[in-house]
Amino acid sequence: MMMAVDAARDPVFDLRLVTENDADWYGAVYQVPQNIELHGNPASGASAASAASVGVDIRNEGRIVWTRDGVHPFVLTYHWLNADGSALLDLPEGELPLPRDVPPGASIHIDAPVDVAALPGGTYRLEWDMVEQDVVQFYERGWPNAQTLVTVDQGGPSQAPAVLPRDDSVAPWVVPRVNLWQAAVQLIQRNPVLGVGTDNFRHLYGAELGLDSWDERVQANNLYLEILADTGFLGLIAFAWLVGPPLMRVVGVVRTSRNLNQAYYAIGVGLALLAFLVHGLFDTFLTFIPTAGLFAICLGFALAQKPHVSGR
């Protein structure tokens, strides 16, 4: 019941239960102008003509709602590239909030204010990308950015902005669960007793798989491999010591209690613990606060069980 309430309150929690990773959570299709022409910075005293509003339509092709507000809001960003798109111009990145929340399958329109006052005459590119702030850029999940060719026909400064090399290699590969398990096994083989250190698997698995970059928020997708990789067999023994006594308490109550209601209650608690432990074969749930909290509550319920003997 508590897990159902939490899932209803938090759609991300629900997605975690039905998907292996967030590879298909994020997706966007853009409709942007292919070409626009703008005037450079006008002469002093003339009316400003270096700014324009560029209309961008975006459709949510993922499985998660794009939220306008909150800790990690979704925004539309844009940055300037040189004419062939091979280099990034050293100009401030544009960041535009959404007009509203956008559920999967829905579309929005954003009018992006674009100013070319800092650009000399020439040809440039605007690159558009959806971002969940401090979480992910959509191109990192395989969705290409959109580009608009911009021609600045006059005016502006005589010197172009500095050019920075583009580095698209920062986009991490979404690693399948089986490959994460493979990396964990390799780390366990090299550090079987003490592991590589608490919470260090996510920082090391990419190197084990020969990746140049990877998402360091990702765990092993298996609680027991995660424990072994991080803390070795000593850590797994400690986890068994934590979980074993509550399970034995439940088994003892079921076997010896003369109160059927208490026995049924103990069976329910035991099945809840068993569900968590089976789920641990496919997820590192102790790193996720809601599930870790529910697991701790179940352990407490199990430890609270005492055989009921009639007449006492």
Q: Which residues pair with 112 in a beta bridge?
A: 54
How does pLDDT run along the chain (312 residues), one tens digit per residue?
Answer: 544 444 445 666 677 666 766 778 899 999 999 998 887 665 544 444 567 889 999 999 999 999 999 989 999 999 999 988 888 898 888 999 999 999 999 999 999 998 887 888 889 999 999 999 988 889 888 888 999 999 988 766 777 788 887 766 555 567 888 999 999 999 999 999 999 999 999 999 999 999 877 878 889 999 999 999 999 999 999 999 999 999 999 999 998 888 888 889 999 999 999 999 999 999 898 988 888 999 999 999 999 988 655 554
Contacts of 145 (CB under 8 A, 6+ apart): 30, 127, 128, 129, 138, 139
Distance CA 140, CA 123 (A): 27
Distance CA 147, CA 30 (A): 9
Predicted local confidence at residue 287, as pLDDT: 86
Domains (range + CATH), the chain: 33-166 (2.60.40.10), 177-303 (no CATH)
Is the whole model's pTM more than 0.85, yes or no? Answer: no
Residue 288 main-chain phi, psi, to 5 deg: -110, 115
Predicted local confidence at residue 218, as pLDDT: 87
- Residues belonging to the chain: 312
Contact criterion met (CB below 8 Å) for 83 and 35 = no
Predicted local confidence at residue 214, as pLDDT: 82
Residue 28 main-chain phi, psi, to 5 deg: -145, 140
Predicted local confidence at residue 224, as pLDDT: 97
Distance CA 146, CA 200 (A): 36
State the CB neighbour count (10 A cutoff) for residue 298. 22
Residue 136 main-chain phi, psi, to 5 deg: -160, 145
Distance CA 202, CA 211 (A): 13
Predicted local confidence at residue 174, as pLDDT: 73
